[in-house]
Amino acid sequence: MSETIPHQCDVLVAGAGAAGLAAAHAFAAQGRKVIVVGKVETHLAGRTVALFEGSLRFFRALKLWKACEKHASPMEGIRLIDDTGSIFPTQPKEFRAREIDLDAFGQNIENNVLVAELAEAARKHPRITLIEGLLDGFELNYSGARARLGTGEWIDAKFIVAGEGRNSQARQVAGITVKTWTYPQVALTVLLKHEKPHHNISTEWHKRSGPFTFVPLQGREGAPHRSSMVWLVAPREAVRLQALAPEELASEIQDQSHDRFGHIELDGPVGAFPMGALKTDKVTGLRLALIGESAHLFPPIGAQGLNLTLRDIASLVDCLENVDLDEADVISRALASYERDRARDIGFRVNGIDVLNRSLLIHALPVDFARAFALNFFSAFGPLRRALMREGVTPHGPTPKLMRQRPPVRRPTPAQS
Ligand SMILES: Cc1cc2nc3c(=O)[nH]c(=O)nc-3n(C[C@H](O)[C@H](O)[C@H](O)COP(=O)(O)OP(=O)(O)OC[C@H]3O[C@@H](n4cnc5c(N)ncnc54)[C@H](O)[C@@H]3O)c2cc1C
């Protein structure tokens, strides 16, 4: 073991994506000595994450949001437009954060910026060591856990957080069963500059191939109106669109958006992400817990992925608060409540998004009718409508400590209103 790499820690976090880095900060804030290992990837084309109120509270509580805030754009409203051509069309629906006493549902930020800021803060944190490499072996024992770096060196830990994404090796070593499936869809992502303002409203067209979404992004010099786009299309269509010249693709995007934002130009490279889903039979093992895409994966509908992950982390940190990590039995008892808490939340999102996504892909009148009925029903009745909005932003169930602190609501001054 080289002198610069410590070989012992309380918590070893596998994976240095948004999930792993956020977990490292949360455990360090609990006073644990943390080692986080993974490649810090900041070249994800066109990807942003819309972080809802609970996630913003999480980052604020850990004093991580200040550095990100200047890059983020608020989402004050969400507009849903039925563009399926169904014979049961629904009128466009608009939901406002004000209806549930929030200034904004959340903030949209580039993935790359968020990961870079979390990594930078980790490098400076006195209780976190960030090792930019890969792990290629795990051992989980009653007396302790350890993981092997690609260099052959071992790191001893009392507890392992598996945040290395969908192909998690730690999950496999822990004997956790995983069920995966795919969808005939690819998510095309790109940042856009457009002529007309988004007014901080996210616009989602529901098309037969899946959602086509513009999420507000902060403007910059020379490009005052910007959004990030996520467009779910059939794999063959994704190949065709990616082969277009930038101005041709921009023109197709403008057509698909029915010219709502006027002239459109691409503002960066185009990303393509095949759609799949994943769920596991449990989220804990001996001295180990899964977080993020190691534990759940689903298409980007309703911006739930990283928001759910941050709830994993906040819940895990609560469960292990004041737990002596030397004691395997004590850890196991504490993890039972993590298992219970996550089963509900993860099951609800993975299954709910699966149903929603399939309801767009299946061309059948009864399905079209059920989708239109459900949307009209939920949006027409005030209490149901607000419950639906709250569920997306700060889900029901016990709120973990890192997500409890509400910022004061900024009411408009008489001059503004
Ligand atoms: C198009 C699209 C749009 C999305 N929009 C939203 C949104 O608006 N809101 C939202 O909440 N979510 C959204 N999501 C989901 C969100 O982006 C993901 O949930 C999140 O980025 C996953 O982060 P992660 O850290 O769990 O996984 P990853 O980003 O996959 O990170 C895993 C990390 O582990 C590392 N790793 C892998 N193997 C090893 C190993 N052996 N040893 C060490 N490290 C390893 C990898 O290098 C990587 O750094 C979206 C997803 C897509 C595809």
Q: Cβ(100) to ligand 1 under 6 A?
A: no
pLDDT attached to residue 366? 64
The dihedral built from the CA positions of residue 226, 227, 228 and 233, taken in this order, carries a sign that is: negative
Q: Cβ(187) to ligand 1 under 6 A?
A: yes
| Contact indicator for 167, 281 with CB cutoff of 8 Å | no
| Contact indicator for 275, 186 with CB cutoff of 8 Å | yes
Could you give the CA distance from residue 12 to residue 6 in angstroms, rounded to a whole number? 11
| Contact indicator for 277, 350 with CB cutoff of 8 Å | yes
Residue 136 Cα: closest atom of ligand 1? 41
Strand spans (E) along 282-382? 284-285, 288-290, 296-297
Residue nearest ligand 1's atom 49 by CA: 17
- Distance from the alpha carbon of residue 271 to the mean position of ligand 1, in angstroms: 14
CATH fold of 8-73+107-180+276-394: FAD/NAD(P)-binding domain (3.50.50)
Beta carbons within 10 angstroms of residue 288's beta carbon: 24
Crossing angle, helix 53-61 and helix 18-29, to 10 degrees? 50
Torsion of CA 183, 186, 187, 192, to 10 degrees: -160
Q: Cβ(169) to ligand 1 under 6 A?
A: yes
CATH superfamily, region 183-274: D-Amino Acid Oxidase, subunit A, domain 2 (3.30.9.10)
List Cβ neighbours of 213 (8 Å cut-off, separation of 6 or more).
Answer: 202, 203, 204, 205, 229, 230, 231
| Contact indicator for 196, 205 with CB cutoff of 8 Å | no
Q: Tell which residue, 20, 94, 69, has the closest CA to residue 379.
A: 94
pLDDT attached to residue 392? 74
- Distance from the alpha carbon of residue 255 to the mean position of ligand 1, in angstroms: 30
pLDDT attached to residue 413? 47
pLDDT attached to residue 198? 97
**Which stretches of 146-224 are DSSP H helices?**
169-173
Indicate the domain borders of the chain.
Answer: 8-73+107-180+276-394, 183-274
Q: Cβ(119) to ligand 1 under 6 A?
A: no
Q: Cβ(271) to ligand 1 under 6 A?
A: no
pLDDT attached to residue 388? 75
The whole-angstrom distance between residue 28's C-alpha and the CA centroid of its chain comes to: 21
Q: Cβ(16) to ligand 1 under 6 A?
A: yes
Q: Which residues pair with 272 in a beta bridge?
A: 188
Q: Tell which residue, 90, 96, 55, 95, has the closest CA to residue 72.
A: 55
Q: Cβ(84) to ligand 1 under 6 A?
A: no
Could you give the CA distance from residue 120 to residue 122 in angstroms, rounded to a whole number? 5
Residue 275 Cα: closest atom of ligand 1? 53
- Distance from the alpha carbon of residue 111 to the mean position of ligand 1, in angstroms: 9
Beta carbons within 10 angstroms of residue 335's beta carbon: 23
DSSP letter assigned to residue 192? E
Beta carbons within 10 angstroms of residue 293's beta carbon: 23
- Distance from the alpha carbon of residue 293 to the mean position of ligand 1, in angstroms: 6
Ligand 1 probe mutation, 306, 310, 316, most atoms within 8 A of CB: 306
Per-residue confidence in pLDDT tens, the chain, 417 aa = 444 566 899 999 999 999 999 999 999 999 999 999 999 988 888 999 999 999 999 999 999 999 999 999 999 999 999 887 776 677 888 889 998 888 999 999 999 999 999 999 999 999 999 999 999 999 999 999 999 999 999 999 999 999 999 999 999 999 999 999 999 999 999 999 999 999 999 999 988 888 999 999 999 999 999 999 999 999 999 999 999 999 999 999 999 999 999 999 999 999 999 999 999 999 999 999 999 999 999 999 888 899 999 999 999 999 999 999 999 999 999 999 999 999 989 998 999 899 888 877 766 666 666 666 676 666 666 676 777 777 777 777 788 999 987 655 555 544 443
Could you give the CA distance from residue 305 to residue 199 in angstroms, rounded to a whole number? 24
pLDDT attached to residue 365? 63
